[in-house]
A and B are shown apart, each in its own frame.
Chain A
Amino acid sequence: MIPVVVKISKMPSLRIDQSDLKCKNGCDYFGNPQWQGYCSKCHREQMQRQRKAEKASSATLPKPETKKPDRGLKITSHSSFSKFEEKRHRQSETLKKANLLKFSVFKKSSTDDHEHSSEKRPPEFKIPPQVNEGMKRDFRMRFPQLAQSRSKEPSLAVDRDCRAFVNSFIMDVIKCTNVMTVDELSERVQRQYQRFMKHMDTSAHFSHVDADTKELLMDFVEKHAMTYLHELPSIVFSPNGTEDERLDRAMSERIQQLSWVGERHLECRLDMNHAECRQLLYKAISELLGMDSALSPGDKLARVRRCCRHVLRLCSSSAPASADDLLPALIFTVLKANPPRLVSNINFVTRFCNAQRLMTGEGGYYFTNLCCAVSFIENLTAESLNMEKKEFDCYMAMPASIGGSAWAAALSLCGAAREADEQRALAHKLRAHTRTIHERADLLAANAKSFEEQIAKKVEDVLAKTPLEIKPRRELPRIGKFKEISTAPLIDLGTSHAHGEPEPPPETKPEPQPEPTVPQEPNITIQASENEPKLNILGFEVIERQSPSKSPQNLDQTWDLKQTSSLELLTPSPLGFTPFDSRSIDELMTPDDFGADQLPPGLSNINYDIDLSDFSGDNSIAEDAPKSDPKDPFSPEALKKTFDPFAPQTSRGYEALDSFDEFSFVDQRKQETDPFEVVHRGQDPFSPVDIAKDPFFSPPKQSTSILDDNDSPTSGCLLPSPMQPQSSGKPT
């Protein structure tokens, strides 16, 4: 049936004659060293003969001896030859196992005699702490009701008991694995499970745990113990001393050879052309394949359960699926899946899964079905497929790659379809993601816009308010310094035009008198108007009263000293105003030129200085002004919209201020444009103030003079009202 098994790895030893590769029995098939040189067929027969012989011999012996042969001891004399053979076989396997363990698990020095060392091993062997940690975590996750709700003490005890049991369980299995056959080990494991069950029933710690939770705890314990043991080589999973691995290979080959078996052979109603059917079959197959990667028996069972559920849906298109439908479909699934290490997996579950669950429970039922399917495949004959023996043989002789290609194609189609589905899902997700991003971006834009509008509105509001607030504040400090500062009533240049300018100095002088009465600003304005009836007073011009006196006196002295340097440098740099430097030389030159005319050239520089000192006063105001700073963010807008056009005018305004300080009014008029523009631009801090002022005072500026522009913010209409409270407050 399975004629040729030649391993590539055997190729180097090609000196062997081909006849040596043939079956020892002399049939024409090739033999295999793993089958003691027999071909598969002869080997099976041989094995059966051996088994029969063993049975016969064991029947004559008292039971306990057959049950528990001591592998390590010398064989007693009365056993039959076949039994002796078998024992030796097992013994050698035990040796092999011990050696394997020595190297792989225990890393023990190889000098010890394995027979004796087996007793010493357990203490050396340590269960890695991860097992414990993992259990703790998993326990909390799985039994939150145990970990939380009840009083702490018993639940902790449950947790501890479980872990203690798993530890002792693992130790026990590892200890026994050297001296026991797999069946004995399995029995021992089952007894351990029962022990734990009994412990749960009797221990006080578990008194509050209901029956269902106990079963879950049982599964939990089983899972963790077995997951760990599963990873150790050849202890519980396809252990040494069994033929699991060989059977795995045989099974895999067998299934491959049966790949031609189709749904019609098994009489199951499957429609390959139906997309849903293909999908379900594909899912069932992937679950079945996943069984190998699951570690604990419980997980493997869960895989089988899921697989069978898919298969059931596959069968139950019209009526609820019955066992009559399930089994053939499951067989078909197994044939198409050809799961890796199938026999090992099944044996592992049968041996080490909690027998109780395997016997009852849904998982157990489906697993039993799987066992049936495997058994059916193993013993599949022409009769079981209702076909002629000749046809069957013909199919079996056919190379495996030919048969079942239709289904293989359909299933690969399935795989591709599923992949496509996944891709589509991914694409869909991405699209949705982009959409949300777009929406958010739009929202953000809308927000920004509304915010902008809001801000603009606020700006307008504030703009409406600011003149009222800013101007008084700007003057307040000066009013505070009134003794030093003279508030010059604004001259409505509309009337006095260019001639108004020379007049302010006289105005400033009389002001000291009104100052004592200053606190009441209306009075001031009134007084100012009284003092200078000729002029229409629009507001105050703030001029430092001392500046006329100061600037010539103090600053002249100080700055005279510096004149040289400034002259030498040809820059007003001592002030630290880089904008000057950056300005064209012409601008720098002009003040000098002018200064040369009437004032010492240094003075022109001093003018700037003085301006600064003045404006430093202004600065402080400007710093107060930042209360209008909330408007600052708007300044850019304001700048765009309002500032630029008026910039020259404001600059003029500052020139005017400067000019006052210097008392060189005539010069100022001439100088107006050039130098002071520069100054003004250098002094950005004031610009917002100016801007704030500008819109209101653009008309007077347009009218003409610098002074007006400068003072316009303090125009009469706006000024008085805020001033009053303070002024009235002062005297009282």
Chain B
Amino acid sequence: MATAPSGTHNFKVVLLGEGCVGKTSLLLRYIEDKFNDKHLTTLQATFLNKRLNINGKRVNLSIWDTAGQEKFHALGPIYYRNSNGAILVYDITDEDSFGKVKNWVKELKKMLGSDIVLTIAGNKIDLEHERTVPLEEAESYANMVGAQHFYTSAKLNQGVEELFLDLTRTMIERYEQNSQTDVNRTSQVVVVDDEAAPPQTSCCSGNKTN
């Protein structure tokens, strides 16, 4: 977890998932909806820096797209190290992609523990009739691993905004929980320390993952 000066939260979110499940489309939809008047960003849909204000808290969201090809799977750790949130995207018409999500969840849990907020997104609900991943299975799995589950359609622009907003809220909560436990653990109640301590832990954890 990281705080920038003056209480702005800096969150890093990675988009993970098999190729062709619509990670890029989700991101593109989110970019375009927000920046309809500015078409500068549409050159690329790989990276998005976004500022949000949620309940008076300023959040700086960095959303990273990742290459989904199988041959780049091994590079995952480089992408998701130090990230605060992950969006795991699968295609509801493709059971394999859901299997991939399970793999990712396992890997993330192993590498980052509870530091990372997971959100699972079943994309392409506009192709509901071709669904192969049962709704119940997906949701129960999400509950099991402690992840939010969303249905989205980048094509119809359904659930995208909600997905990112909810993720951000959860990340703020998680961050505050962590800093709470930090304070409790160190039993230091200096406000300045409160801000200083979390970055240190993040720094150390970052080095460990190296």
Contacts and interface: CB of A to CB of B under 8 A. Distances in A.
Interface string B180-210: 0000000000001001100110111011001
A533 interface: no
Given A324-B67, A372-B79, A365 B62 contact: yes
Contacts of B6: 201, 211, 214
Contact of A368 (B43, B78, B195): B78
Nearest to B204: A187
Looking at A191, A324, A384, the one whose CB has the most chain B CB atoms below 10 A away is A324
A190 B195 CA distance: 15
A366 B195 CA distance: 28
A379 B71 CA distance: 11
Nearest to B49: A362
A310 to B, nearest CB: 11
A326 interface: yes
B71 A384 contact: yes
Looking at B19, B44, B75, the one whose CB has the most chain A CB atoms below 10 A away is B44
Contacts of A316: 43-44
Contact of A327 (B11, B23, B67): B67
Nearest to A202: B192
Contact of A191 (B12, B42, B44, B200): B200
Contacts of A322: 23-24, 44-46, 65
A359 B8 CA distance: 15
A328 interface: yes
B43 A313 contact: yes
Given A202-B192, A379-B74, A312 B44 contact: yes
Nearest to B32: A320
A375 B78 contact: yes
Closest 4 CB pairs of A and B: A322-B24, A323-B65, A327-B67, A360-B62
Interface residues of B, number: 47
B75 A372 contact: yes
Contacts of A321: 43-46
Interface in A368-391: 368, 371-372, 375-376, 379, 383-386
Interface in B69-102: 69, 71-72, 74-75, 78-79, 82-83
B152 interface: no
B44 A194 contact: no
15 contacts: A191-B203, A198-B195, A211-B4, A211-B8, A215-B5, A320-B28, A321-B46, A323-B23, A323-B46, A326-B67, A355-B82, A355-B203, A356-B4, A366-B47, A375-B75
A361 B62 contact: yes
A194 B197 CA distance: 10
Chain A interface category by residue count:
35 or more
A321 to B, nearest CB: 5
Contact of A324 (B28, B68, B74, B210): B68
Given A321-B43, A365-B62, A360 B67 contact: no
B60 interface: yes
B66 interface: yes
Contacts of B105: none
B5 A323 contact: no
A364 B202 CA distance: 16
A359 B210 CA distance: 13
B78 to A, nearest CB: 5
A359 B203 CA distance: 10
Nearest to A384: B71
B43 A323 contact: no
A323 B10 contact: no
B175 interface: no
Contacts of B65: 322-323
A194 B200 contact: yes
Given A322-B44, A361-B49, 5 more contacts: A324-B69, A328-B69, A365-B46, A375-B74, A376-B74
A321 B65 CA distance: 11
A106 B64 CA distance: 45
Contacts of A364: 62
A186 B68 CA distance: 32
A371 B80 CA distance: 12
B196 A324 contact: no
Given A328-B67, A384-B71, A359 B82 contact: yes
Interface in B20-70: 23-24, 28, 42-47, 49, 60, 62, 64-69
A162 to B, nearest CB: 15
A309 B44 CA distance: 9
A356 B195 CA distance: 14
A183 interface: yes
Contacts of A302: none
A197 interface: yes
A200 interface: yes
Given A194-B196, A320-B28, A372-B79, A312 B43 contact: yes
A320 B78 contact: no
A366 B62 CA distance: 12
Given A197-B5, A201-B5, A372-B72, A326 B46 contact: yes
Nearest to B25: A322
A322 B79 CA distance: 15
A361 B49 CA distance: 7
Contacts of A371: 78
Contacts of A313: 43
B163 interface: no
Looking at A360, A371, A383, A384, the one whose CB has the most chain B CB atoms below 10 A away is A360
Contacts of B199: 194, 356
A488 to B, nearest CB: 96
Contacts of A324: 19, 24, 67-69
Contacts of A267: 69
A356 B203 CA distance: 9
A365 B8 contact: no
Contacts of B71: 376, 383-386
Contacts of B15: 323
Given A322-B65, A324-B68, A360-B62, A312 B46 contact: yes
B2 interface: yes
A682 to B, nearest CB: 85
Nearest to A198: B196
Nearest to A373: B75
B42 A320 contact: yes
Contacts of B195: 198, 201
Contacts of B69: 267, 324, 327-328
Contacts of B62: 359-361, 364-365
Nearest to A322: B24
B75 to A, nearest CB: 4
A371 B209 CA distance: 15
Looking at B28, B64, B210, the one whose CB has the most chain A CB atoms below 10 A away is B64
Nearest to B42: A320
A191 B207 CA distance: 13
A163 to B, nearest CB: 20
B49 to A, nearest CB: 6
Contacts of B196: 194, 198
B123 to A, nearest CB: 14
Nearest to B66: A323
Looking at B23, B42, B60, B71, the one whose CB has the most chain A CB atoms below 10 A away is B71
A326 B5 CA distance: 32
Contact of B78 (A309, A356, A372, A385): A372
A214 B72 contact: no
Interface in A321-355: 321-324, 326-328, 350, 355
Nearest to B31: A320
A202 B43 CA distance: 40
